[in-house]
Amino acid sequence: MTNLPLEMQPDSALEERVTSVLVAAGLVRRRRVWPVWAAAAAAVVVLLVGITKFRPKHALVPGNTYAVLLYEDPAYKPSPPQVGNVRVQVLSRWADSLNAAGKYISAGRLTGPGPLGGLFMVRATDDADAARIAASCPFRQWGGHVEVKRYDR
Amino acid sequence: MTDDLALVERFLRGRGEAAFRALYRAHTPALFALAWRLTGGDRGEAEDLVQETWVRALTALRNFRAQSALRSWLCGVLVNVRRGRIRSEWRIVDAPDIEPLTEPAGHDDAIDLERAIAALPDGARDVYVLHDVHGYTHREIADLMGIVEGTSKSQLNRARSLLRSSLP
């Protein structure tokens, strides 16, 4: 046997070319990369499902209905896996306090592209009260952006 | 379980891109070296050969059995792909242009040897590369190339004789 090298590195572009051909031929499945907002939105879904379930109803205060909108801006820090459902518990306690005050209506998720991941529907006596509610939302502690808008039927 | 077998099983579970890239990176340098020599140092042809080898190999990967090393199996696929291409090329061109060798191989003697190998006639070059460079037996070469062992031996003798006369 000769001692010529048994391995040679081809051009690095060949790997991409071969992979693309194999994907096109259906022999390899292309890796699907979920955008950050999709992962974050999924986390919000989990949060909101946990918050809305089994909550007793209280009589709502007189006033207007508002939507408290939760945005996962780039500054939002998703929950690390090791802390489990701590955020669910924190938001749930916040919703409990609103509910006890007659100011909680519902929570829900918003699907589709973009950073808007979920909302709380709340009852507030006026715009200033709604702003105070939004300002107290724990979602802001994690870098999330919170907006409040009055809901007119 | 060998690393190769683990890589194959991982790929076959989902045919995922990451699993394929792991296989590719583990074995393409050896496939490319073989392809480069079998094509007489034609880099473009060698890359086409490697690409077609992966297409064929992934199509038939479920047939791979762990009795043989994955690398040997892949090299066998490559040799067969090459045979098929030569047959079809014969109907199209008589004398394909091959770019001069520029691949560095370590030192001058090695470069001379690579050039001399590239200049061998196809059949003799294939047997020489498989036997003397990559360590295949005559029986394995006969199976891979669809020839009898005696032909493999005579082609090897011819290749060695031509190399002796062409090297300084």
Residue A106, strand partner residues: A121
The three-class DSSP label of residue B118 is: helix
Does ipTM exceed 0.95?
A: no
- CA closest to B60 among chain A residues: A27
The total number of residues written for chain B in this structure: 168
Q: What mean pLDDT do residues B36-58 have?
A: 92
Question: What is the rounded CA–CA span in Å between residue B101 and residue A7?
Answer: 17
* Partners of residue B29 in chain A, C-beta under 8 Å: 7-10
Contact B29 A9 (CB under 8 A): yes
Q: How far is A31 from chain B (nearest CA, A)?
A: 6
Q: Report whether A73 contacts A139 (CB < 8 A).
A: no
- pLDDT bracket for residue B19 (50, 70, 90): very high
Beta strands at A64-71 and A116-124: parallel, antiparallel or unpaired: antiparallel
Q: Report whether A55 contacts A104 (CB < 8 A).
A: yes
Segment B49-97, tens digit of pLDDT: 999 999 999 988 887 876 678 888 899 899 988 887 765 554 444 444 4
What percentage of chain B reaches a pLDDT higher than 70?
Answer: 82
Segment B54-66, tens digit of pLDDT: 999 998 888 787 6
* H helices present in B15-96, as ranges: 17-38, 43-59, 70-90
* Partners of residue A10 in chain B, C-beta under 8 Å: 28-29, 32, 43, 46-47, 50
Whether the predicted pLDDT of A41 surpasses 80:
no
Beta strands at A145-151 and A64-71: parallel, antiparallel or unpaired: antiparallel
Question: Is A73's Cβ below 8 Å from some Cβ in B?
Answer: no
Taking each helix axis from N to C end, the angle separating B17-38 and B3-14, rounded to the nearest 10 degrees, works out to 120
pLDDT for res B103: 44
pLDDT for res B148: 92
Rounded to two decimals, what is the model's pTM?
Answer: 0.56
Whether the predicted pLDDT of A95 surpasses 70:
yes
CA atoms within a 13 Å half-sphere pointing along the CA-CB vector of B72: 13
Contact A14 B36 (CB under 8 A): no
A10, A19, A25 member nearest B21 (Cβ): A19
Question: Is A10's Cβ below 8 Å from some Cβ in B?
Answer: yes
Residue type (1 letter), A70: L
Residue bearing tokens 């306090």: A97
